[in-house]
């Protein structure tokens, strides 16, 4: 047998045994026998490097080379599902589906498990995994192919004889099983690292590790629940799921065809209990219309498909004793009371702390020191206090008293007029506020400066090196290396990350400044409207309110921010450091009046640009975005899967539909 033939045979065998072990849980050979086959393949690939293949089973261990994640646009948008919380709501959804489909034949609903992981899209071409992309914002995601290749339950190569399409996309959830999650947290505890709060966070963090060899060690798994292709083998969701199972994927193990609301109720009741026996975290069920033709007819809303809905299980509730209340200061100075609890197991994790949000909630719940408190997990992730067991209250228990001075700097607190928030007004002298703004500034969606997290931000502040965001750009490696945890490599990473951040676009600089009330979306709209920092600083409150989503409170907040000399000084230093202080105008971004006077509704999904990008293009070329169709609508930018109700309304009002190609021709792209 030639080396090439033996390599091909070994790869087939190892892939088959991987599937038997990780997907079917029915191994045919021992671990030692598997390792011997793997070593033989490694040796052959070493002796014949021309036979190497990046999808070989020998590459499952990942690489220790650092990687950065490029972003790509999804071939088809990854929308979220609408949520329901009762069988009545599910029944109502089924009724809406029937009404939209009209005289369609009987509707079959598929019930399946909703896994609590991080969403992933895999692209296969000619049976080979070519790309793995996270959900991201639904239109664009991070390419994490190298880390996904380390997940042994995911097939890297699918033989043609399985009947798979030449080109397809498969979607699912990357998960960290409970056993692997516990093992990982035990290791982190021994290493003195912060523990992951839940398997979802751990899975998401692992998927974004720069070192795929480390990702391989953590034991990620994956379940898949949807297949997309122009050449699917079957016309129903159920049959395509079963087909993908035969191609080698670990598909959702909970899948049942349901033909009545009674069966839906039975399905919900059964899995509300049985899901706790599954090896991975879950947070609900999903119901989908089985017929792909009916799915196509139902289409999508702006946020979710009409042919599917999620049912969320009621939050688990536990009763535990309040040990004490601590008060934490956020970057905007808001004081948050936190209940420190007797540890209690809730939805698979130990809960020791829960936010009580503000003084009004503490008073409303009438919480006393030492009370027995009911704790739930919102979305099975964030613990919250929902009530008090008054029968177990101690006779001498006194009400929890809210602090009157800042627990960090001692400044008298103030109550925000018309709001529940209590705030420390010492913005520029209160350490948690300063550190919080630094931590926000360097965050991934802001300036994305590598090497500075929560602990490092505090460390830099305590060392007297960073008191404002501009100080970050004065840092030098020799200043950082004496600090605990820093060496030449990590010190250089911070300095290089600061230098790289100078390329970050203007809208993210605005968001990074921590202007009260200015979130990520508002920052984008402000940047697009004003163009540069000088114009932004010169606008009055009334002028700012002319910008979409900027109301009186946010406008006043922006004016107040730029009126403070400390903020202006910091901003001038950031400008001098080389940060982007204006919107970059490329040739493609030059505006026009091609859409002047037009009010355009966007509907459906698109191939060339995301919906947000099309909104920006409409405004750039003089048009106006509108969310709903009316007599004033002049055109509809219609993508694939345009909602049937919008199509019907457009036809009734005689509003023209613009295809993606027509629209781009109008604006000259």
* Mean pLDDT comparison of 289-303, 576-590, 602-616, highest-scoring range: 289-303
Answer yes or no: 39 catalytic: no
Q: How far apart are CA 162 and CA 247, in angstroms?
A: 6
Q: How far apart are CA 58 and CA 447, in angstroms?
A: 38
For residue 291, is pLDDT > 60? yes
Sequence ranges of the chain with CATH classification 3.40.50.10190: 590-666
Q: Which CATH superfamily is domain 506-577 in?
A: 5' to 3' exonuclease, C-terminal subdomain (1.10.150.20)
Mean pLDDT within 647-668: 86
Sequence ranges of the chain with CATH classification 2.40.50.140: 318-415
- Any idea which residue has 């809208």 for tokens? 507
Q: How far apart are CA 255 and CA 61, in angstroms?
A: 32
What region, left, alpha or beta, does residue 552 occupy, with left being phi > 0 and alpha being psi -120 to 50 degrees?
alpha
Mean pLDDT within 495-521: 91
Q: May I ask the CATH architecture of the domain 83-312?
A: 2-Layer Sandwich (3.30)
Helix, strand and coil in the chain, % to nearest 5: 40, 20, 40
- 251 vs 70, more confident: 251
Q: What is the pLDDT of residues 200-223, one digit of tens each?
A: 888 888 888 877 777 888 889 999
Q: What is the pLDDT of residues 297-345, one digit of tens each?
A: 898 877 789 999 999 887 678 899 999 999 999 888 989 899 999 998 8
**Band of residue 289 on the pLDDT scale cut at 50, 70, 90:** very high
Report the pLDDT value the prediction gives residue 21, as an integer from 0 to 100.
64
For residue 180, is pLDDT > 70? yes
Catalytic-labelled residue, pool 39, 46, 92, 114: 114
Radius of gyration of the chain from its Cα atoms, rounded to whole angstroms: 28
Q: Distance from first CA to last CA of the chain, Å, rounded?
A: 57
For residue 191, is pLDDT > 80? no
Class level of CATH domain 318-415: mainly beta
- Any idea which residue has 């939209």 for tokens? 100
Neighbours of 20 (CB within 10 A): 15
Write the CATH number of the domain with boundaries 431-503: 1.10.150.20
- 473 vs 20, more confident: 473
Sequence ranges of the chain with CATH classification 1.10.150.20: 431-503, 506-577
Element (H, E) at 145: helix 145-148
Class level of CATH domain 3-61: mainly alpha
Report the pLDDT value the prediction gives residue 64, as an integer from 0 to 100.
41
Query: HSE-up of 272 (CA within 13 Å, CB side)?
Result: 15
Residue 354 has phi, psi (to 5 degrees) of -150, 135
Sequence ranges of the chain with CATH classification 3.30.470.30: 83-312
> Cα dihedral sign for 35, 38, 40, 42?
negative
Report the pLDDT value the prediction gives residue 308, as an integer from 0 to 100.
95
Question: What contacts 195, CB < 8 A, 6 or more positions away?
Answer: 185, 188, 189
**Band of residue 108 on the pLDDT scale cut at 50, 70, 90:** very high
Mean pLDDT within 162-191: 87
**Band of residue 65 on the pLDDT scale cut at 50, 70, 90:** very low
Mean pLDDT within 18-38: 70
Sequence ranges of the chain with CATH classification 1.10.287.610: 3-61
Under CATH, what is the fold of the domain 590-666?
Answer: Rossmann fold (3.40.50)
Tell me the β-bridge partners of 300: 305
Q: Which two tokens stand for residue 444?
A: 């991934």
User: Measuring CA to CA, which residue among 261, 264, 252 is closest to residue 224?
Assistant: 252
Q: What strands, in cross-sheet order, belong to the sheet with 118-125?
A: 128-134, 118-125, 167-175, 221-228
Q: What is the mean pLDDT of the chain?
A: 86
Report the pLDDT value the prediction gives residue 34, as an integer from 0 to 100.
74
**Band of residue 645 on the pLDDT scale cut at 50, 70, 90:** low
From 51-65, 249-263, 399-413, 569-583, the region with the lowest mean pLDDT = 51-65
């Amino acid at each position: 047998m030639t080396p090439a033939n033996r390599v091909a045979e070994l790869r087939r065998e190892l892939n088959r045994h991987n599937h038997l072990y990780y997907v079917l849980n029915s191994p045919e050979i021992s671990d030692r026998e598997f390792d011997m086959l793997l070593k033989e393949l490694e040796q052959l690939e070493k002796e014949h490097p021309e036979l190497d293949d990046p999808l070989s089973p020998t590459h499952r261990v990942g690489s220790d080379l650092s990687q950065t994640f490029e972003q790509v646009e999804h071939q088809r948008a990854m929308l979220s599902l609408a949520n329901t919380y009762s069988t009545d709501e599910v029944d109502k959804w089924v009724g809406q589906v029937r009404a939209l489909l009209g005289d369609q034949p009987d509707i079959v609903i598929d019930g399946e498990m909703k896994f609590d992981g991080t969403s992933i899209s895999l692209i296969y071409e000619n049976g080979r995994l070519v790309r793995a992309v996270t959900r991201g914002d639904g239109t664009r995601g991070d390419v994490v192919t190298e880390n996904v290749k380390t997940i042994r339950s995911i097939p890297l190569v699918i033989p043609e004889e399985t009947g798979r399409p030449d080109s397809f996309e498969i979607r699912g959830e990357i998960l960290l099983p409970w056993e692997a999650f516990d093992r990982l947290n035990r290791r982190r505890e021994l290493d003195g690292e912060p523990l992951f709060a839940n398997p979802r966070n751990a899975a998401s963090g692992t998927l974004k590790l720069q070192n795929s060899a480390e990702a391989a060690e953590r034991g990620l798994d994956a379940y898949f629940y949807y297949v997309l292709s122009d050449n699917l083998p079957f016309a129903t969701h159920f049959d395509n799921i079963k087909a993908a199972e035969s191609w080698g994927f670990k598909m959702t193990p909970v899948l049942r065809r349901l033909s009545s609301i009674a069966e839906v109720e039975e399905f919900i009741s059964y899995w509300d209990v049985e899901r706790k026996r599954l090896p991975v975290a879950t947070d609900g069920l999903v119901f989908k219309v089985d017929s792909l033709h009916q799915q196509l007819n139902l289409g999508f809303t702006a946020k979710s498909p009409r042919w599917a809905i999620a049912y969320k299980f009621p939050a688990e509730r536990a009763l535990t004793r309040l040990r004490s209340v601590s008060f934490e200061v956020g970057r905007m100075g808001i004081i948050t009371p936190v209940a420190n609890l007797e540890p209690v197991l809730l939805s698979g994790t130990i809960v020791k702390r829960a936010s009580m949000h503000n003084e009004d909630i503490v008073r409303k719940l009438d919480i006393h020191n030492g009370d027995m408190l009911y704790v739930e997990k919102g979305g099975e992730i964030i613990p919250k206090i929902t009530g008090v067991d008054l029968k177990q209250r101690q006779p001498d228990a006194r009400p929890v008293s809210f602090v009157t001075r800042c627990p960090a700097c001692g400044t008298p607190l103030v109550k925000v007029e018309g709001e529940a928030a209590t705030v420390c007004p010492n913005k520029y002298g209160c350490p948690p506020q300063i550190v919080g703004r630094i931590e926000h500034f360097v965050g991934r969606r802001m300036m994305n400066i590598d090497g500075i997290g929560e602990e490092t931000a505090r460390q830099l502040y305590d060392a007297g090196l960073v008191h404002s965001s501009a100080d970050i750009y004065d840092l030098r490696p020799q200043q950082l290396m004496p600090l605990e945890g820093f060496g030449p490599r990590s010190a250089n990473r911070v300095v290089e990350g600061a230098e790289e951040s100078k390329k970050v676009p203007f809208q993210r600089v605005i968001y990074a400044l921590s202007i009260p009330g200015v979130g990520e979306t508002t920052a984008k709209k402000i940047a697009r409207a004003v163009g540069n920092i000088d114009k932004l600083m010169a606008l009055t409150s009334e002028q700012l309110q002319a910008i979409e989503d900027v109301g009186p409170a946010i406008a006043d907040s922006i004016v107040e921010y730029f009126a403070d000399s400390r903020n202006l000084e910091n901003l001038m230093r950031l400008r001098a450091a080389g940060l982007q202080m204006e919107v970059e105008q490329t040739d493609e971004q030059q505006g026009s009046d091609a859409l002047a006077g037009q009010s355009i509704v966007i509907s459906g999904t698109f191939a060339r640009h995301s919906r947000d990008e099309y909104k920006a293009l409409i405004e750039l070329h003089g048009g106006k975005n509108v969310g709903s169709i009316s007599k004033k609508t002049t055109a509809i930018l219609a993508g694939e899967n345009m909602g049937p109700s919008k199509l019907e309304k457009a036809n009734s009002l005689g509003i023209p539909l613009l295809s993606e190609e027509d629209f781009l021709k109008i604006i000259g792209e």
